Amino acid sequence: MTDQPRNKWSQHVTETSNALDLEAGVFALDEPRKIALSLKHSADTSARRKTSPFRSAMSMLNFYINRAGRSLPAARRAILEQAKDELRVLYGKSAKRG
């Protein structure tokens, strides 16, 4: 690992992932569909990902949620969980719930 402080490693991974070039602030967006669309665009256009665009996008979203852990407010977690459903819809993986 680099000289990165231990508590910043997940931010470093998110910013320098070899799989996706993420839009700045994507996980801070307030609309699940916008988060999903941004992740989809990043995954679809990445030449460096090692798996399918859907798996890359979902993996990055899950990584962010898991690393935030208990410090992630319930409202933010709900938005990010809804973004997972939106990703599934965008990639034709399941019908939209609700």
For residue 12, is it within any domain? no
Query: What is the three-state SS of the chain?
Result: CCCCCHHHHHHHHHHHCCCCCCCCCHHHCCCHHHHHHHHHHHHHHCCCCCCCHHHHHHHHHHHHHHHHHHHCCHHHHHHHHHHHHHHHHHCCCCCCCC
For residue 89, is it within any domain? yes
Q: List, for residues 28-79, the tens digit of each pLDDT value.
A: 999 999 999 999 999 999 887 788 999 999 999 998 899 888 899 999 999 9
User: What is the count of structural domains for the chain?
Assistant: 1
For residue 49, is it within any domain? yes
pLDDT score for 1: 45
- Give the residue among 9, 30, 21, 17 at the shortest CA–CA distance from 80: 30
Domain of 92 in residue numbering reads as 28-98
For residue 3, is it within any domain? no
**Residue 80 pLDDT greater than 90, yes or no:** yes
What pTM, to 2 d.p., does this model score? Answer: 0.77
For residue 2, is it within any domain? no
